[in-house]
Structure formats: C-alpha cells, structure tokens
Amino acid sequence: MRDSLSRRRLLSAGAIGAGGLLLAGCDRLSKPGPFRSLLESAEGAHFHSQRLIIGDALAQEFSVADMSPNFRANGNRDANGNAAWLSHSARQFADWQLRVDGLVLRPLDLSLEALKAMPQRAQITRHDCVEGWSAIGKWRGPQLGAVLKSAGLLPSARYIVFHCADSTGTSPYYESLDLIEAHHPQTILAWEMNGAALPIAHGAPIRLRAERQLGYKHAKYVMRIEARASLAGLYGGKGGYWEDARGYQWWAGI
C-alpha cells in the first residue's frame, strides 16, 4: 500500500518534470465531462500536474494545542479607504450584506446573520504566506459551495471571483478560484477566527479560507462574490491582486 503510493507520487513528480506528460495517458481525463472541462479552463502544466497529485485531498488539520499564540495580520489591516466598508464597520456590520452575482440564477444579498444561519464548518489549519511565515488558527463559517448552490451557478461559470473592500494605491484587492477549489470542503467564508468574531485586521466581516492554497489567495474584507466564465478583462486579467502586481502564480497550491 505504502510502496505503491510513494511510487505513484514519484511517477507524478516525474510527470511534472516532463511537462505533464502523465496527462496523455490518464483515462479519466480523456473522457469528455465536467472534470476535463474544468481542467481545460485553467492554464499551465504545473497546475494540471498539481491537480492530479492532490485530487480531492484535505489540507492538514490541527488540534487546539497547536494553535499559534499570535497570528500576525499581513497585507492590508483595514479597508478604511472604502467608504461603504468604513460605515459598515462603524455599525459592527449590522446591515452589511455579501453580494453574490455574475453567472448565477439567483443573485443574492446575504447578511452576516444569514451566513451564520447556514451549516457551519470549523477547521484548525496552517496559513502559509509566501513572505516566509506560517501560523495555525481556527476558522469557522459556511462552506462556499453551499453559498454557490443557493445562488445556482449557470453552466457557463468557470471561476469564482472575490471582490474585496480594500485597495493598494488604485488597485483593489481581489482573488479567484476555479470551481473545484471553490467547492472543496475546506473552502469557507470565515466570519469567526479563534472562537471570536473575525477581527478587522484579519478581514472583517468575512474572509475566504481556501486551505490548500497559499496565504494571498485567502481574500479578506470580501464584499462581493462573482461567478465568471473567464478572468480576462478583469483588472490585470491574471485572477488576483498579487498575480497582476507581482506575477504570483494563480494556482497557489501548497
């Protein structure tokens, strides 16, 4: 069992070096269907190879004892440059609403209470920032997949975009996931961190947790979720603030 698993890992690692040649022989991918069309919608051999290796694996979860005593805040620590967010923040987000729109059957405006009333998932995970630090924290909120289900994705939807309240200079922060990552069980809209309401510095009122991805994918201050057919034509076109600004990889699998 162990042997064949490590052998499979080795073969997959070899396939990355060879530019994803493994794909050619993969029966599951040669059949038309949603799985293949999802893969075809994303770019790059690196992404394809990683997807094959990780499949539907869960990110590691930890125990309460493993939680970091200090979880640093990084990037923007508020969205005070955004007047709408600022006035919601002053009122403890009492009548803040998350907009869900784009390629959906039923555009939604969800209050914090509505998000809290949905089935919740809690997870203790490690956050890895590319700047070279990690921290373990506990996150809780509804699964993104459930939110998307209530909005009803149209067949043309391929990407889920997270529009944030904060900006750096004139560039708003945004991020995006493909549909596989968006529906992963550990992809949640967290309104709670370490057992308390999500602090301002960590993205209040809600932030994305996509636990198999690097830190910059975990969008804070999410105001709007948009389903799109393509990332082209949106800001720099690369699917995220850091992807546009610094060329960070869109597929940020850990």
Q: Which residues bind ligand MTE (CB under 6 A)?
A: 72-76, 129, 164, 166, 173, 202, 215-216, 218-221
Please report how close the Cβ of residue 99 comes to ligand MTE at its closest, in angstroms: 16
Nearer to Mo ion, 102 or 203 (CB): 203
Please report how close the Cβ of residue 178 comes to ligand MTE at its closest, in angstroms: 18
Strand arrangement of the beta sheet that strand 171-178 belongs to: 108-111, 97-102, 222-228, 159-168, 171-178
> Does residue number 216 form part of the binding site for Mo ion (CB under 5 A)?
yes
The single residue among 20, 203, 215, 253 that binds Mo ion, judged by CB under 5 A, is 215
Nearer to ligand MTE, 158 or 202 (CB): 202
- The one-letter amino acid at 213: Q
Nearer to Mo ion, 69 or 132 (CB): 132
Nearer to Mo ion, 93 or 216 (CB): 216
Residue nearest to ligand MTE (CB): 75
The single residue among 26, 53, 129, 201 that binds Mo ion, judged by CB under 5 A, is 129
